[in-house]
Amino acid sequence: MSEQVALLDRAAWLYLNEVDAAALTILDQAFPELQLQAVALADIRQDYYDLFCVPVSGRYLSPFESAQREGRLWGSITYQVAEWYALSGFNLGALTTSRIWHSQLIPDHIGYELAFYSALLSLPDQHEQAAAFRSRHLLPWVLTYAEALHQKARTPVYRLLAELTMQV
């Protein structure tokens, strides 16, 4: 189970943070086959912004469950996810995130959902809750999202993130 939790934590972090030089070094050591030293950090960061932040980029994939499943932000799914967090005592504000996401705190962001699922899996008495959350809020959209991410990503970091997401 701890390997799955580590995978979820890595994926959540990559969705919620732009890669910096330190993270790039860690990723390069963990995944030497990606040959990340050959990719400019500026290109990786631009890929992040184009994929997750800039709707007019032509490659944007809204990272919010409600946008993917209901076609709009702050749909009913957003409030359902927020209720899951509240009932479990999960604090979005305690996560390390980019200022972009920290200032918005929209609960159904894929990074928050993966972090929450990881937190549930980390607690032995919450595995039933984790399975229910996975079934209701991850399985209906995450695989399709990851496949689209894999197609649209221009750098190996975000193709890797798509692969990690597919493993969820």
- Global pTM? 0.95
Q: Is the pLDDT of residue 1 over 70?
A: no
C-beta atoms surrounding 17 within 10 Å: 19
Q: Is the pLDDT of residue 97 over 60?
A: yes
Place of tokens 């809750």: 129
Domain count of the fold of the chain? 1
Q: Which domain holds residue 154?
A: 2-166
C-beta atoms surrounding 11 within 10 Å: 27
Q: In the predicted model, what is the mean pLDDT of residues 75-88?
A: 98
Paired tokens of 113: 């959902």
Backbone angles phi, psi at 12, to 5 degrees: -60, -45
CATH code of the domain containing 31 = 1.10.3480.10
Question: pLDDT for 8-41, tens place per residue?
Answer: 999 999 999 999 999 999 999 999 999 998 999 9
Q: Give the range among 90-99, 108-117, 146-155, 156-165 with minimum mean pLDDT.
A: 90-99
CA dihedral 108, 138, 166, 46 (to 10 degrees): -10
- Distance separating alpha carbons of residues 63 and 150, to the nearest angstrom: 14
- Distance separating alpha carbons of residues 50 and 47, to the nearest angstrom: 5
